[in-house]
Amino acid sequence: MIFHGKVKVGNTIITNPATKINENSEIKINDVLIPKKDPLAIYVYYKPKGLIVTKSDEKSRPTIYEDLPKKMRNFISVGRLDKNTSGLLLLTNDGHLSRFLELPKNKFERKYEVKIRGKLSKFQIKRIRDGVIINRFKYQPIKTIILSISSKFSNLELSLFEGKNREIRRIMEYFETPVIELKRISYGPYVLDDLKPSEFHKSNLNYIDY
């Protein structure tokens, strides 16, 4: 197309493929303006309990995209939180960045506050910290901190580097200490801070080496 004079930068026809172009320049092909790619962005969103992390749901259940403004309907979630889990969900307009943040090898720690029914024994806690095996499947070690224990419930802080589907819930069900509340409070360097459910804010990409 360049050799046929179909590409313009501004109003100048470009005939040399090696021409350097400013990122703010207007580019036209066949006199049609090529839309500029939106700048890379990442948002911290407080997902409320009860919403599905998907663009559309075959069961017509409410989704996070119905909770977000229209300008963010094309954003991609970094991983997922299940319907009954609340807390920090990262949203970005770049699929490569989303994948980079999801990959366990890149060591972005996910931290959760968990309320369970009952309490874990010292042996059970050790198994979780070492990497518990359930139905011949071994989960990766999970950093486990006991925050408080009452007669009926325990509050924990769990930290892990990968997010398998319903991992925390499956482990707690296995130990017969079902999850009552589950909230993600941080993802790598990104934290909920003072956000309330359904609130979000644009965050800084300088926090990560991408």
3-state SS of 41-56 is CEEEEEECCCCECCCC
**What's at 138, amino acid-wise?**
K
H or E segment to which residue 174 belongs: helix 167-174
Cβ–Cβ under 8 Å, residues 169 and 116: no
Q: Which of 166, 160, 177 is nearest to 121 (CA)?
A: 177
Q: In the chain, what's the furthest Cα-to-Cα distance?
A: 79
CA distance 43 to 161: 20
94 in catalytic set: no
Which entry of 57, 82, 94, 209 is annotated as an active-site residue? 82
Q: Which residues are catalytic?
A: 82
